[in-house]
Structure 1
Amino acid sequence: MDEIDVSLLELLQMNGRMTISELSKKLTLSRPSISERMYRLQEKGIIEGFSARVSPTAIGRAVLVFIQVSELKVSVSDFEQLVINDLDIIECHRVTGTVGYFLKAALADMDSMRLLIDRLIPYGHLNTSIVLTSPVPSRSILPKVSE
């Protein structure tokens, strides 16, 4: 990857709907060159896909919660199948250390949070944190370019 690829990744992460023409103008490259670079980045698995960022609050899921799960009482595969099928859980990360999983859930209200916790309690020890604010809700991720 060169600096142009890095700039292309940055622009696409800021606005995934940016057209080839717009990218071409911003990077001062031909449209075929931009298309080829995007194709190559997708083929290498660097660009995994394109999606929309949705505001949880705007769709009635204003309560964001992080749940740490430790001391699993079931197999890893059983627990992971549970969280895969629970649509309130929007992220799940298996981690090292004393905590086994970090879950992120987007919920409508405190009653929805209680119901989610009730569903999870049989599977392990839970530590729940409600998000108050998100100073960095998401950030572009770019490779380090050697100088």
Structure 2
Amino acid sequence: MLDDLDRRIVEILVDDARISLKELAQRVNLSSPSTSERLRRLEERGVIRAFTVDIDPVALGYTLQAIVRIRPLPGKLHQVQKLIEDIAQFSECDKVTGDDCFIARLHIRSIDELDKILDQITDKAETNSSIVKAQPVKRRLPPLA
């Protein structure tokens, strides 16, 4: 669990991970050393795993996203997982329960590119894909409370 001060630090960092320690300390009304210590403890506890950059795939030419449900054929689970890991257009993949083993998100430039990617998998798995029209909820943190 996070106390109110840790929660505030995390919220500020989610909004701007490049904020200076001095500015962060001012915004949470702590000294820089105290803020630094809190950050260190949040990292040690695994609450903060990384300070990252948020890249817009569209700016790189990836104008389409697809969600693909993947059901490996018998005995092909590990091969399919390796393929997914090795294909750079797969930006996320979850191993799930239910009829499908994987649900993955791809960033692609065209439907032809999607077809070429799925062609690499279809001899080892059944796939079902959907093109993303909009993303009303972007990836976000669970409640910090």
When the two structures are superposed, what TM-score results if normalisation uses the length of structure 2?
Answer: 0.92
Structure 2: gaps (5+ residues): none
Structure 2 CA distance for partners of 1:72 and 1:3, relative to 1, 3 Å:
farther
Please name the residue that 1:92 is paired with: 93
Between the aligned residues of both structures, percent identity stands at: 27
Pairwise mapping of residues 1-40 of structure 1 onto structure 2 (< 5 A)?
A: 1-40=2-41
Structure 1: gaps (5+ residues): none
1:62-91, CA deviations, whole angstroms, 9 ceiling, x for partnerless residues?
Answer: 111110012434433222211111101111
Pairwise mapping of residues 95-110 of structure 1 onto structure 2 (< 5 A)?
A: 95-110=96-111
Please name the residue that 1:117 is paired with: 118
Letter in 2 for 1:141: P
Please name the residue that 2:52 is paired with: 51
1:54-113, CA deviations, whole angstroms, 9 ceiling, x for partnerless residues?
Answer: 101000111111100124344332222111111011111101111211111001111111
Mean CA deviation greater in 20-29 or 71-80: 71-80
Please name the residue that 1:126 is paired with: 127
1:101-127, CA deviations, whole angstroms, 9 ceiling, x for partnerless residues?
Answer: 111100111111111111121221111
Mapped to 2, the partners of 1:135 and 1:128 lie a distance apart of 19
Structure 2 contact 67–104 (Cα < 8 Å) conserved? yes
| Helix, strand or coil at the partner of 2:54 | coil
Mapped to 2, the partners of 1:76 and 1:4 lie a distance apart of 44
Cα root mean square deviation, aligned:
1.4
